[in-house]
Protein backbone atom coordinates (compact mmCIF):
# COMPACT_ATOMS: atom_id res chain seq x y z
CA UNK A 1 0.00 0.00 0.00
CA UNK A 2 1.40 3.39 -0.93
CA UNK A 3 0.54 4.90 2.44
CA UNK A 4 2.54 2.20 4.20
CA UNK A 5 -0.55 1.18 6.15
CA UNK A 6 0.43 -1.26 8.87
CA UNK A 7 0.24 -1.50 12.63
CA UNK A 8 3.73 -0.01 13.04
CA UNK A 9 5.28 3.25 14.21
CA UNK A 10 6.19 4.31 10.68
CA UNK A 11 2.49 4.47 9.77
CA UNK A 12 1.35 5.82 13.12
CA UNK A 13 3.77 8.76 12.90
CA UNK A 14 1.92 10.07 9.84
CA UNK A 15 -1.64 8.90 10.35
CA UNK A 16 -2.34 7.95 13.99
CA UNK A 17 -0.38 10.32 16.24
CA UNK A 18 -2.01 8.92 19.39
CA UNK A 19 -0.27 5.54 18.88
CA UNK A 20 3.29 4.75 19.96
CA UNK A 21 5.92 4.96 17.21
CA UNK A 22 8.59 3.06 19.15
CA UNK A 23 9.15 -0.64 18.60
CA UNK A 24 8.42 -2.96 21.54
CA UNK A 25 12.08 -4.04 21.33
CA UNK A 26 13.15 -0.55 22.45
CA UNK A 27 14.06 0.94 19.06
CA UNK A 28 12.74 4.53 19.12
CA UNK A 29 11.14 4.30 15.65
CA UNK A 30 9.50 1.13 14.32
CA UNK A 31 9.77 0.91 10.53
CA UNK A 32 9.24 -1.81 7.94
CA UNK A 33 12.98 -2.06 7.39
CA UNK A 34 13.58 -2.38 11.14
CA UNK A 35 11.06 -5.22 11.45
CA UNK A 36 12.31 -7.08 8.40
CA UNK A 37 16.06 -6.65 8.89
CA UNK A 38 17.10 -5.86 12.46
CA UNK A 39 14.37 -6.14 15.11
CA UNK A 40 15.45 -8.78 17.65
CA UNK A 41 11.80 -9.71 18.28
CA UNK A 42 11.66 -11.21 14.79
CA UNK A 43 15.06 -12.96 14.78
CA UNK A 44 13.45 -16.41 15.20
CA UNK A 45 11.50 -15.90 11.96
CA UNK A 46 13.88 -13.84 9.83
CA UNK A 47 15.32 -16.98 8.20
CA UNK A 48 12.19 -17.16 6.02
CA UNK A 49 13.27 -13.90 4.40
CA UNK A 50 17.04 -14.38 4.50
CA UNK A 51 16.88 -17.75 2.75
CA UNK A 52 15.05 -16.18 -0.19
CA UNK A 53 16.64 -12.71 -0.19
CA UNK A 54 19.91 -12.67 1.81
CA UNK A 55 20.22 -8.86 1.56
CA UNK A 56 16.75 -8.36 3.13
CA UNK A 57 16.41 -5.44 0.70
CA UNK A 58 12.72 -4.48 0.69
CA UNK A 59 12.43 -3.68 -3.05
CA UNK A 60 13.96 -7.07 -3.82
CA UNK A 61 11.62 -8.83 -1.37
CA UNK A 62 8.58 -7.14 -2.89
CA UNK A 63 9.88 -7.33 -6.46
CA UNK A 64 10.27 -11.09 -6.78
CA UNK A 65 7.90 -14.02 -6.48
CA UNK A 66 10.37 -15.76 -4.18
CA UNK A 67 10.59 -12.66 -1.99
CA UNK A 68 6.83 -12.29 -1.75
CA UNK A 69 6.40 -15.97 -0.83
CA UNK A 70 9.08 -15.57 1.85
CA UNK A 71 7.39 -12.43 3.17
CA UNK A 72 4.07 -14.26 3.41
CA UNK A 73 5.67 -17.05 5.46
CA UNK A 74 7.52 -14.53 7.65
CA UNK A 75 4.31 -12.61 8.43
CA UNK A 76 2.26 -15.77 9.01
CA UNK A 77 4.78 -17.25 11.42
CA UNK A 78 5.96 -14.08 13.20
CA UNK A 79 2.85 -11.96 13.53
CA UNK A 80 4.78 -8.98 12.17
CA UNK A 81 2.60 -6.05 11.10
CA UNK A 82 -0.39 -7.22 13.15
CA UNK A 83 -1.93 -5.04 15.85
CA UNK A 84 -0.99 -7.49 18.60
CA UNK A 85 2.37 -8.54 17.18
CA UNK A 86 1.21 -12.14 17.46
CA UNK A 87 0.55 -14.56 14.60
CA UNK A 88 -3.05 -14.54 13.47
CA UNK A 89 -5.24 -17.44 14.47
CA UNK A 90 -5.66 -20.08 11.81
CA UNK A 91 -8.73 -19.49 9.73
CA UNK A 92 -11.12 -22.27 8.92
CA UNK A 93 -11.88 -22.17 5.22
CA UNK A 94 -15.55 -21.89 4.34
CA UNK A 95 -17.36 -25.06 3.36
CA UNK A 96 -17.49 -25.42 -0.38
CA UNK A 97 -20.84 -26.13 -1.94
CA UNK A 98 -21.08 -28.11 -5.14
CA UNK A 99 -22.87 -25.63 -7.40
CA UNK A 100 -24.42 -28.36 -9.54
CA UNK A 101 -25.87 -30.06 -6.46
CA UNK A 102 -27.13 -26.72 -5.14
CA UNK A 103 -28.80 -25.99 -8.50
CA UNK A 104 -30.44 -29.43 -8.45
CA UNK A 105 -31.79 -28.78 -4.94
CA UNK A 106 -33.24 -25.43 -6.07
CA UNK A 107 -34.85 -27.07 -9.11
CA UNK A 108 -36.40 -29.75 -6.87
CA UNK A 109 -37.81 -27.07 -4.55
CA UNK A 110 -39.29 -25.13 -7.49
CA UNK A 111 -40.89 -28.30 -8.88
CA UNK A 112 -42.43 -29.01 -5.46
CA UNK A 113 -43.93 -25.51 -5.41
CA UNK A 114 -45.43 -26.02 -8.87
CA UNK A 115 -46.99 -29.32 -7.74
CA UNK A 116 -48.60 -27.55 -4.77
CA UNK A 117 -50.01 -24.87 -7.09
CA UNK A 118 -51.55 -27.53 -9.32
CA UNK A 119 -53.20 -29.20 -6.32
CA UNK A 120 -54.58 -25.85 -5.12
CA UNK A 121 -55.82 -25.04 -8.62
CA UNK A 122 -57.73 -28.33 -8.91
CA UNK A 123 -59.97 -27.55 -5.96
Which pLDDT belongs to residue 17?
92
d(CA 80, CA 7): 9
Supply the DSSP string of 36-67, one letter for each residue. III-GGGGGGTHHHHHH-TT--HHHHHTSHHH
Which pLDDT belongs to residue 123?
47
d(CA 26, CA 8): 13
Q: Tell me: the pLDDT tens digits for 49-108?
A: 999 999 999 999 999 999 999 999 999 999 999 888 788 777 787 888 877 766 665 655
d(CA 89, CA 83): 13
Task: Tally Cβ neighbours within 10 Å of residue 123.
Answer: 4
* Integer CA distances (angstroms), 92 to 25, 44, 53, 95, 96, in order: 32, 26, 31, 9, 12
Q: Report DSSP state, residue 3.
A: T
* pLDDT over 90 at 40, yes or no: yes
Cβ atoms 49, 61 nearer than 8 A: yes
Which pLDDT belongs to residue 110?
58
Amino acid sequence: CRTGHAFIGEYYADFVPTEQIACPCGEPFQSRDHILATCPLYNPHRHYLATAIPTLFLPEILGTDEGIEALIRFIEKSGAFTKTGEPRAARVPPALVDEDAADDDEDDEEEGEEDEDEVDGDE
